[in-house]
C-alpha cells in the first residue's frame, strides 16, 4: 500500500488518506486472508493517525484491528500507548 510506504518514509499525515482509501476498497466479506488484510490496514491507519497527533482516531483504528484480529499484540500495545499519550496531552479549551 502507498500508505505503508509513506509511513516508512516518516510521513504519517500523508499516509492517512491512502490507507483510508485502501480500507474502503477492501471487500466487506471474505475468509481469513481478507480479515488479515483488514486488520493490517486498520493497524497501519492507527499508526498513521497516531503519528499525525490524532490519538483518539488512532485508538479507534487499533480497536477495529483488534476486533478483527484479537490476538494482534502490536495493535493492543499501540492502542494502550496512544491512550496513555492522549491522557497526558494538554487539552485545548
Q: What pTM did the predictor assign?
A: 0.82
| pLDDT, tens only, 14-28 | 999 999 999 998 876
- Domain with 46 in it: 2-88
Q: What is the CATH number of the domain that holds 11?
A: 1.25.40.10
| pLDDT, tens only, 10-67 | 999 999 999 999 999 887 667 777 888 888 999 999 999 999 999 899 999 999 998 8
Q: Read out DSSP for 36-78?
A: HHHHHHHHHHHHHHHHTT-HHHHHHHHHHHHHH-TT-HHHHHH
Position 41 in a domain: yes
Give the count of domains, the chain: 1
Look up residue 47 and give its three cell numbers.
Answer: 499508526
Position 6 in a domain: yes
Position 52 in a domain: yes
Position 12 in a domain: yes
| Residue 87 pLDDT | 77
Q: Would you put residue 53 in left (φ > 0), alpha (ψ -120 to 50) or beta? A: left
Are residues 39 and 45 in contact, defined by beta-carbon separation less than 8 angstroms?
A: no
Q: Residue 50's Cα: distance from chain center in Å?
A: 8
Position 93 in a domain: no
Are residues 42 and 65 in contact, defined by beta-carbon separation less than 8 angstroms?
A: yes
| Residue 89 pLDDT | 64
Amino acid at each position: 500500500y502507498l500508505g505503508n510506504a509513506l509511513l516508512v518514509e516518516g510521513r504519517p499525515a500523508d499516509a492517512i488518506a491512502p490507507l483510508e482509501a485502501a480500507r474502503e476498497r477492501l471487500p466487506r466479506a471474505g475468509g481469513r486472508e481478507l480479515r488479515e488484510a483488514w486488520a493490517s490496514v486498520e493497524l497501519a491507519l492507527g499508526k498513521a493517525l497516531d503519528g499525525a497527533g490524532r490519538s483518539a482516531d488512532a485508538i479507534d483504528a487499533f480497536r477495529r484491528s483488534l476486533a478483527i484480529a484479537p490476538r494482534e499484540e502490536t495493535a493492543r500495545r499501540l492502542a494502550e500507548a496512544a491512550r496513555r499519550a492522549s491522557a497526558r496531552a494538554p487539552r485545548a479549551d
